[in-house]
Chain A
């Protein structure tokens, strides 16, 4: 219990320090771009596929559930709302957590173990500015874009199943999607995505930066990063949903 409090405190301090360094110069523009590419572009395939199949399954499941009270018409709108508000950001976040938290933790952990982080300091470069800040900033900026793409693909997955498998009318399906989706749905989903991007990169950096010694230390850091990022995403998702619900 005591150690949990201490770990939380250390994480909060780490986050505060990281945020401070995001907003003060010098800025490493090239690093930020490189990290955005790494987080966003290279996560597209896995996040896109996840969204595609989720949208497709969602359409089937809602149809089965919906047909019990004869309401097939709601498939399009529920797929859209479900994907945009909830499944796009959460599943996208979890997939990216597995990919990006792990690779950031492994990278920074290796840099810690091979003294590259110490070397940065002796070369008058603050590791928080050069390593941590660009990764977290890239995470916060990139995740909403990634999730917006995932949402589109997810809705398309539902559309494909709806039109080809359930024989819905294509233009009615699109009309139902567009009519029922509100700006609030989309915005709340994208805010979630930004928060998840923060969590994913923060936890990757935190565990990597504080990695223990040797290959084992890096392995532990990587595992801890993925597990803690995933749990925090789900917890933050509940809190955010509660906030949007009350608002």
Chain B
């Protein structure tokens, strides 16, 4: 079956720093793929190169039948309309109210009242009451901001959703709530999901498939059920969180 998203030999450097060194990855439609890997290995850059926020130096990015890294103008607009993204830090617009954040994409084609009602419905979906709608993002706790970011990402029922470290910085209970929400929206909406995390609990909860990024390439990829039995030394070191192994820990 033709993948929904496919990266072929994607390279990206910043100055002398060669971050991505030939990433190959494919995600099938309605599949939940999770990328794991240490901090600074280029997980966010990988996602950003799919969205065109970062231009790869070499390689191809395909979304459906479109070269995403080459798309311009109308084609790129159409492409971006398929995506929802939850950023690592939330990236909420701090000059706008919570509901205006959630309804941001819809605001241009709806009246203010409709957009607000829709936003409140999406907020409810992520477990936030309507009393939060008129607050500003700075007035919310970190976990609530993540949820607003989640509501914004799913607001327009995207075909593809990216989650960049959705549970980092949250307490275990809030993490579990977010994981459940992610699983729920993916299953309910039938969306294709790509999640970045280094939280193994999240991985087991969210993932259909797992890919491990290390040294600028995907070291291993396979179904989540194979994680414990695959015998890959990188995976083994990562899921057990050991300092010794093929992944060099910087100290």
Contact = CB atoms under 8 A, between A and B. Distances in A.
Interface string A115-151: 1101111111100000000000000000000000000
A189 to B, nearest CB: 33
B51 A125 contact: no
A120 B53 CA distance: 11
B3 to A, nearest CB: 21
A17 interface: no
Contacts of A115: 87-89, 91
Contacts of B52: 121
A177 to B, nearest CB: 43
Interface in A95-120: 111, 114-116, 118-120
A26 interface: yes
A121 B81 contact: no
Indicate the member of A114, A115, A120, A123 with the most B CB atoms within 10 Å: A123
B91 A116 contact: yes
Contact of B51 (A111, A116, A121): A121
B105 interface: yes
A30 to B, nearest CB: 10
B251 interface: no
B53 A122 contact: yes
B91 A119 contact: yes
B108 interface: yes
B83 interface: yes
A11 to B, nearest CB: 21
A122 B51 contact: yes
Contacts of B91: 114-116, 118-119
B48 interface: yes
Contacts of B178: none
Contacts of B94: 116
Contact of A123 (B48, B53, B88, B105): B105
Majority secondary structure, B binding face: loop
Interface residues of A, number: 13
A120 B87 CA distance: 11
B224 to A, nearest CB: 26
A124 B84 CA distance: 10
Nearest to B79: A124
Contact of B93 (A26, A119, A122, A124): A119
Indicate the member of B53, B87, B88, B91 with the most A CB atoms within 10 Å: B91
A124 B77 contact: yes
Contacts of A119: 85, 87, 91-93
A26 B81 CA distance: 17
A211 B105 CA distance: 25
A27 to B, nearest CB: 11
Contacts of A118: 48, 51, 53, 87, 91
Contacts of A120: 93
B234 interface: no
A164 B194 CA distance: 74
A87 B52 CA distance: 47
A121 B89 contact: no
A89 to B, nearest CB: 30
Given A115-B87, A115-B91, A116-B91, A121 B104 contact: no
Interface of A: 26, 111, 114-116, 118-125
Interface of B: 48, 51-53, 77, 80-81, 83-85, 87-89, 91-94, 104-105, 108, 152
Which 10 residue pairs are nearest across A and B when measured between Cβ atoms? A119-B91, A115-B91, A122-B85, A115-B87, A123-B105, A118-B53, A124-B80, A116-B91, A123-B104, A114-B89
10 contacts: A116-B91, A116-B92, A118-B48, A118-B51, A118-B53, A118-B91, A120-B93, A122-B51, A122-B84, A123-B152
Given A115-B87, A123-B104, A124-B81, 12 more contacts: A26-B108, A111-B93, A115-B91, A116-B93, A118-B51, A118-B87, A121-B52, A121-B80, A122-B53, A122-B80, A124-B77, A124-B105
